[in-house]
Amino acid sequence: MRDRRESVRGKVLYGGVAEINRDGSTMNCVVRNISEHGACVELNSAARLPEHITLRVARKGRAFLARLVWRQANKVGLAFRIMTSDRPVSDLDERLRRSEIKKRQLQRRIKQLLGEG
């Protein structure tokens, strides 16, 4: 099988977070290899992913807007569209971001418990 990648990917074992929609839904994942143009990510095999996601890799301090290219069992191939810094401007910014994510998670859970979701 011919490798069609633009650049060589380095094998890594990084923890990551895939943001899968605008509501702040996230899932933990493992980045298996990465380059400046894409990555192979391992996640829950039952997870449904949209065509476009944001992949955050804390160890690299980066977030990547990515397009899903392929899926095989519990692994997916992502092509990066844009790379951005993931470093918060201040501690307050980071706490606010985490608080907003937690708020959205709690709102979804309340809807589930009330039978609305």
Per-residue pLDDT tens, the chain, 117 aa: give them. Answer: 445 545 566 788 899 999 887 777 888 999 999 988 999 999 886 677 889 999 998 888 889 999 999 999 889 999 999 877 655 545 666 777 788 889 889 999 999 999 875
- Residue 92 has a pLDDT of 67
pTM of the model: 0.64
Helix, coil or strand: residue 84: strand
At 40 the pLDDT is 94
Number of Cβ within 10 Å of residue 96's Cβ equals 12
